[in-house]
Structure 1
Amino acid sequence: MQKNDKIKFYSCLAPLSFLYGIGVWLRNRLFDWGILHSEQYPIPVICIGNLSVGGTGKTPHTEYIIRLLKDKYRIAVLSRGYKRKTSGFILADSESSSWEIGDEPFQMKNKFPDILVAVDTNRRRGIQNLLSLPEKDKPEVILLDDAYQHRYVTPSLSIVLSDCHRLFYNDKLMPTGYLRESISNINRTDIVVVTKCEEDMKPIDFRIIEENMKLRAHQLLFFTSIVYGKVKPVFPSKACFLNHKNIGKEDDILLISGIAAPAPFIREAEKYSNKVVPMVFPDHHMFSKSDFKKLEAVFEKMTSSGKLILVTEKDAARLKNNPLVPESWKNFLYYLPIVIQFCNGQSFDETIKKHIITFSKNNILQNKYE
């Protein structure tokens, strides 16, 4: 599409964005005016969300908070379980599959088997079910995954993520842009985290972003970057251990991605090999028989002795439970885990810990005087 054609196309979408914005504005005002009711809870409920659709890194940031808190508190993660094949409330266990609870909750339950992971599109019902568990299992902190727009729940702390390469203040409402709600609704959050920052960002770059955010005095701003871990087999009993340093520059890599923003993943793989073939699918893609047939044809044409198939951690969660995965792939199938790193991590850690302690103290005092 030529530049002029793109301008015309987005101009045509502008009225739809205007109408969408009116709908979102009215819905938010109904909550602000108390016409639509929002529920509060007696334990800390931390919401990790965004203003835009997908690709800001909610899962690795949720996992960061899990690691931060899990040794001291009983943690529950509540997600809607996007693209799962079930409905209603489900409390995950060791037998749960990505088909039942969704790929991201499955990934978190597998990484942190001792925490509670639940899914429910109705977050209020989900929290009530979690708080109805026996006392020994009842969570002490609930993390709400991707629930910033779910205003039927009032979180005790809200965290909004914004991709450094697609900052919310430069974006537009859907369908012209990627925003789910207008920029002004950033005022509801307590913390903003700018994600996927490049290693070579300078202090002036951080200051420019901070000035453009125009945050309120009480709102905190943090910056994070992606750190890639060691390559791991999707099927450990089939594939041998592989160090990415052992991947040769002439080894073929079939790179499969079903995430919202695959560019950093592709760039990382290209550090290992000069022969990376990316096959990109939509976010949360459920791989079908025809997908595998197409991918298998590409992989069979690869001739290097060290060839492999590399997927994202989120895609690995779906592929583990997919009976259509070719048996011949299992010796070659690896994933690349990620974690996030705060540029000022200690301050973020202390902010989260202090919030939980303060909330708990205030709640005890409130109950005492009721």
Structure 2
Amino acid sequence: MRTQVVIIGSGPSGLLLGQLLANNGIDNVILDRVDRDYILGRVRAGVLEQGTVELLEEAGVSRRMHEEGLRHDGISLAFDNRLHRIDLAALTGKHVTVYGQTEVTHDLMDKREASGLSTIYDAANVQPHEFDTDTPYVTYEKDGASHRIDCDFIAGCDGSHGVSRRSVPQDAIRTFERSYPFGWLGIMAEVPPADHELIYANHPRGFALCSMRSEHRSRYYVQCPLDDRIEDWSDERFWDELRRRLPEEAAAGITTGPSFEKSIAPLRSFVAEPMQFGRLSLVGDAAHIVPPTGAKGLNLAASDVHYLFEGLRDYYRDGSSAGMEAYSGRALARVWKAVRFSWWMTTMLHRFPDTDSFGQRIQEAELDYLVHSQVASASLAENYVGLPF
């Protein structure tokens, strides 16, 4: 088989890239080691920057997002038993859209199927080859048979544990990492959200986040030790702890109910440089991970897709290699700004085990300055709604 671009990974970044390429007449095949149902069963983020929304519109998959997504013009920071609203729209002229990553993935899958584009699920032992030459190819196994796809370019959209980054020689890549000494215990429940916008809470007992996926489905988190076990957290214990960490007015808005998903996620910041190795480009989590505090994971993957799509489009439309050669530099410039923002939000809102009394007072002063300075609030808002591509 031959195609122009092989995309490894059928998460939202791989699907979005594939649809944008197909809309511009660029042939592509997507490979994934798991099946469609497994991918759609993963619970992920749900805050979309305006730039991500515009990319989904360009891909032709925005109808349901506009019908069901929730426009948010602000967020609230909770500390000192009070809510402090940051008016994103007034400060930046932009907003964010709450629409679950699973729904984005579903829309992109449906569009790809309706377009008659090729996706190969349950592809075992996927492996990119010869990407440092002009004749790369990808091999895989399915139903007991070996297969090969020749191509011009390979896009590694297969996440932090995928084969794409592992295939790069160790001496050709440099990684940067920061692990955080706590995790997020998160639940999903079919209950209305506590507030019409997200609440980020700093409390002596630890961080908490009130989020949502719709007007009837809520997503909540509390900071917890990394060695906590899910089975030790009953729903009743979770709801009690969440309410303790919120101001009284926010706690009063909590509607409790049985959770249908519960997990503990570690937090880390990770960046791999460069993001391109000959004809192989890394996209999204294959190249970088951010803590979810700043709502940047999916949005960073979307900006990577934007830069890579522009490079591929120009290559096939104009015969120009300039965009492809600039991909890594353009993507990383935005990645590091988002990594900085996510790190800053995380350090400002969480309680760290080694924070002394001085450090605690600095954190409190930071929060107080942030909500009372329009300049500081505007900086948070500008980063939260998303820096320009």
TM-score scaled by structure 2?
0.30
Name the structure with the higher strand share.
2
TM-score scaled by structure 1?
0.31
